[in-house]
Amino acid sequence: MKLLKRFIFTYVAMMMVIGPARAESPVDGTRNAGDAAKDASVYGTITEKTPSIPQYFSWINNTNEGSTESQTLTNLEFFKWLHDEYGMNLGIYAWDAGNIDSANYYGNMQSDRFNRQFPNGWDEIGGLAKSFSCRLGLWGGPDGFGNTPEEEQARIDLLVSLCRDYGLQLFKFDAVCTQLRDEKQTSFAKAMTECRKYAPDLVVLNHRLNLGVAKPHATTFLWGGAETYIDVHMRNQTTAPHNRAGALSRGLPPGLQRLTEDHGVCISSCLDFWEDDLVLQGFNRSLILAPEIYGNPWLLRDDEFAKLSRIFNLHFRNREILVNGMVLPETYGSNAVARGDESTRFITLRNLSWSPVTYKVKLDEEIGLTDDGPVEVRRYHPSERILGTFDHGQSVAVEVPPFRSYLMMATTKPCEEVGVVGCDYEVVRDTQDKPILIKLLGMPGAETTVSLKPGHRSFGSAFLGEEESKDLLRGEVTLKFPGEPIAMPWHKLMTKLEPVDVPSDAQQLYEATCFSAENNALEVQSLHRSGPTSIPQVQAARDAFFDQELFWRRGIWDKYLFDGNPETFFSVLHYGRDKRLDGGSLRVDMGKLEAVDRLSIDALFPSTDMNQPASMLNADVSDDLVTWKSITLEKADRPTRTARVADIGQNGGTCELMDANVLTWEATLPEAMRFRYVRIPNAPERVAEFEAWNADEKIAASEWHATNLFAPFSAAAPVAAWQAETEIADNVAESSYLCVALDGKHGANKAYAALRVDGKWIGASQRAPSFPCVAWEYPGRSQASNDTHYFPITDDMRGKKIDVVVLGLAGGSAEITPHVWVTSYQAPNESISLRLE
């Protein structure tokens, strides 16, 4: 009886705070206008028909330690640059964990921790965001209401002040902090009700929470529960020409519900084909937060920021009609969706196979296009093209490239977007008060006639390259794209591999990949992929990320071996766990042959480390991967040196410093030896420095590269092999690469691919899922089947016959069918710039 009375009391109290539950009202529209107004006063104005809000959130820009004032301002300057340069609208910049709350921690804006991170508070941050019409969001826990009425009110006051004083539009409440106690459900409801008095459009994200009777106050649920950090939380399940096939295979929320959250698109690791992922997130699912990105978008190449902005801008301009969606028949492929109104439809398609697929799109009620009249059809992705004007009810055949998404628009209205008839193109910049920039695209050597469709604009001048073209404004012009025609298709199956005996050069083939690949953090690999930037705001955001203490103290970049700083190191540990395969081996490629008469390494041994350092380290050196010579590095008898190292907590977010002894091992050679490659099995866990000298002169290491997780060849011990010969054409498309796809079971990290070209061995530089790495946020994921290995085609490979070899290692499985494709990230178009003023 007491329990029953307590339940009744709690229920009545809850209803007094939150009013009638709205669980169904925003979705099914069954409540009347009075009820809807009453709901809005408590639950806010966000409904299933609210246009999407574009968002960035900062997870894996920082982990549970949180961001800082300077880093946040730097990131916001990047997004302001995108706004000013490309007109990109970002609705919400959301801090993720660690800025007020963190894992198992509830904070406030008066704490020492907050003041260390944000010594000047949030006034400047809020002002900078507001300068480009962006609002703030915040990660936190659902509780923090304490155990007394005073503590509860303090938490409510904090949350309310964020909405009142800083215009906060989003709370992301996450069970990583804690769950909400049952007895605090009314407190949570009261807090959200009070917050919405100042932010009626407040978005409340429910990440794995049991909110109980306060559940109606949450705007969304987490669909699928999946984070999208590529090759960390999301990876390919099939072979594919890139690492994002798993992300592109995601389905649809039940009933196309928009008040859910798909965790957005991670732009931090494995960047290629990020735009295909974002097209599906923004136009296919088109949830309340869309387009939504997180991580480190400043790691993109300079030329990719225009595409990022273009996707955001297209969505923003059409956000009002993108709230209406319908799933298309199976003839359109898996999870195809059309969104829009009776006169304009955006259709998203996808192809998750190795060959192009053609779909027929019917321009009528089948895609939701009910208005009569001529229909203009445009493709917006993978590249843009005006496909033509067709009769209502006519079918249009469109080809979707392998493992890509596809975005097209069909409209009976005059299209307001500027476009070009006669070739593919990319709108680079379409920003108010700036000249419009467009890249006209065509295959090398191709000739075509183009004309301009200005949309709702009028232009006084047009420039093709640096030459003014009045003809383009008056009618049409003929263009010839530079370059020589390509002899072979840029995407094709090259060959299939057949089983063979393990070759005599298996060690060279295996070591080629171990020296070519990376074990660096995936963000470092992204930096190497994209190259330097010429944009100050991009460089500043990159620096803010890589220079943060918790990044460099993790030991997740091989460059720390060669920087002369005893407190930086290259580690095999991830949150205290050794990630080496079969004991691992430290490998250093010096880039070219060097004459060496002294070799040394420094390693760090924290005072808490119970492992006794070895008195000697055995190393092998080689100039060609064929002949290896052994040398011994002996522990030097030197005065004890110390350095400070970090003990990174199991879930990140802590950086407890401790003393470590710096130990040195050296090999002094009686005479100089010439070699390029060094491998040291069972090297120390934290190697701080790797140095080589000749005649007392230290050899420059700026081009050196190291890995530390791959197994020694003696442990790899290949037991199976597959091989085929193929030939690369002289004028194969620029930026082409080979994909060696291993369909079937091979065991986790138990199959390696390599090439023989002119008597040399070329290892795979990348793999999907990625090769093992010492990770930034969470360990990368390997899998026991369907790996794909990638080889960029270099000038040395053009016009050559090559052997493609796959080695199956001891302990793995040989149930694979390897096949080889040549492909390119983008169609190998040449471009001509168009500027409209």
Whether 412 and 512 map to the same domain: the answer is no
Q: How confident is the model at residue 38 (pLDDT cuts 50, 70, 90)?
A: low
pLDDT in tens, 528-547: 999 999 999 999 999 999 99
Q: Indicate whether 2 pLDDT > 50.
A: no
Last residue of a domain, one of 709, 732, 766: 709
In this structure, is residue 670 part of a structural domain?
yes
In this structure, is residue 173 part of a structural domain?
yes
**Which positions ≥6 away from 128 have C-beta within 8 Å?**
73, 76, 77, 80
Whether 580 and 660 map to the same domain: the answer is yes
Q: Indicate whether 23 pLDDT > 70.
A: no
Write down the pLDDT at residue 753: 98
pLDDT in tens, 696-750: 999 999 999 999 999 999 999 999 999 999 999 988 988 999 999 999 999 999 9
Looking at residue 796, which CATH number applies to its domain? Answer: 2.60.120
Q: Between residues 553 and 17, which one has the greater pLDDT? A: 553
d(CA 262, CA 260): 7
Query: Among the listed ranges 4-18, 394-408, 681-695, 796-810, which one has the minimum average pLDDT value?
Result: 4-18
In this structure, is residue 302 part of a structural domain?
no
In this structure, is residue 255 part of a structural domain?
no
Write down the pLDDT at residue 640: 80
d(CA 719, CA 503): 10
Q: How confident is the model at residue 662 (pLDDT cuts 50, 70, 90)?
A: very high
d(CA 807, CA 587): 20
Whether 654 and 724 map to the same domain: the answer is no
Write down the pLDDT at residue 653: 55
- What mean pLDDT comes out for the span 199-213? 96
- What mean pLDDT comes out for the span 120-126? 97
Q: How confident is the model at residue 596 (pLDDT cuts 50, 70, 90)?
A: very high
Q: How many CB atoms lie within 10 A of CB 291?
A: 28
Write down the pLDDT at residue 13: 35
Write down the pLDDT at residue 645: 83
In this structure, is residue 800 part of a structural domain?
yes
pLDDT in tens, 400-436: 999 999 999 999 999 999 999 999 999 999 998 899 9
- What mean pLDDT comes out for the span 657-675? 92
In this structure, is residue 256 part of a structural domain?
no
Residue numbers of the domain that contains 610? 540-709
Q: Indicate whether 257 pLDDT > 90.
A: yes
Last residue of a domain, one of 222, 257, 279: 222
Last residue of a domain, one of 163, 187, 222: 222
Whether 380 and 478 map to the same domain: the answer is yes
d(CA 136, CA 348): 30
Whether 92 and 217 map to the same domain: the answer is yes
pLDDT in tens, 779-791: 887 899 999 999 9
Give the residue carrying structure tokens 């001509």.
Answer: 832
Q: Indicate whether 5 pLDDT > 50.
A: no
Q: Indicate whether 361 pLDDT > 80.
A: yes
Write down the pLDDT at residue 641: 86
Q: Indicate whether 561 pLDDT > 90.
A: yes
Whether 79 and 151 map to the same domain: the answer is yes
Q: Indicate whether 1 pLDDT > 60.
A: no
Cis peptide before 291 (omega within 30 of 0): yes
Q: Indicate whether 90 pLDDT > 60.
A: yes
Write down the pLDDT at residue 24: 36
Q: How confident is the model at residue 12 (pLDDT cuts 50, 70, 90)?
A: very low
Write down the pLDDT at residue 639: 81
Instruction: With beta carbons less than 8 A apart as the criterion, state whether 833 and 437 touch.
Output: yes
| Burial track 424-457 (b if 16+ CB lie within 10 A, e otherwise) | bbbbbbbbeeeebbbbbbbbbebebebbbeeeee
pLDDT in tens, 280-292: 999 999 999 999 9
Q: Indicate whether 32 pLDDT > 60.
A: no
Whether 655 and 750 map to the same domain: the answer is no
Write down the pLDDT at residue 291: 98
Write down the pLDDT at residue 22: 38
Q: Indicate whether 651 pLDDT > 90.
A: no
Mean pLDDT of all residues belonging to the chain: 93
- What mean pLDDT comes out for the span 502-519? 98
Token pair in block for residue 416: 């307001």
Nearest Cα to 630, choosing from 602, 599, 601?
599
Nearest Cα to 190, choosing from 247, 246, 145?
145
φ, ψ of residue 74 in degrees (nearest 5):
-60, -45
Whether 562 and 638 map to the same domain: the answer is yes
In this structure, is residue 526 part of a structural domain?
no
Whether 644 and 734 map to the same domain: the answer is no
Token pair in block for residue 346: 């955006």
Q: Indicate whether 36 pLDDT > 80.
A: no
Q: Indicate whether 10 pLDDT > 60.
A: no
Q: Indicate whether 29 pLDDT > 50.
A: no
Helix (H, G, I), strand (E, B) or coil at 579: coil
Give residue 572's identity as a one-letter amino acid code.
Answer: V
Looking at residue 386, which CATH number applies to its domain? Answer: 2.60.40.1180
Whether 480 and 496 map to the same domain: the answer is no
Q: Indicate whether 8 pLDDT > 90.
A: no
Write down the pLDDT at residue 655: 66
- What mean pLDDT comes out for the span 667-687? 95
Percentage above 70 pLDDT, the chain: 94
Looking at residue 603, which CATH number applies to its domain? Answer: 2.60.120.260
Q: Between residues 225 and 6, which one has the greater pLDDT? A: 225
Write down the pLDDT at residue 575: 78
In this structure, is residue 296 part of a structural domain?
no
| Burial track 598-619 (b if 16+ CB lie within 10 A, e otherwise) | bbbbbbbbbeebeeeeeeebeb
Write down the pLDDT at residue 223: 92
Q: Between residues 644 and 343, which one has the greater pLDDT? A: 343
Whether 453 and 546 map to the same domain: the answer is no
pLDDT in tens, 295-324: 999 999 999 999 999 999 999 999 999 999
- What mean pLDDT comes out for the span 335-364? 98
pLDDT in tens, 624-641: 999 999 999 999 988 888
Counting the structural domains of the chain, the total is 4
Whether 671 and 774 map to the same domain: the answer is no
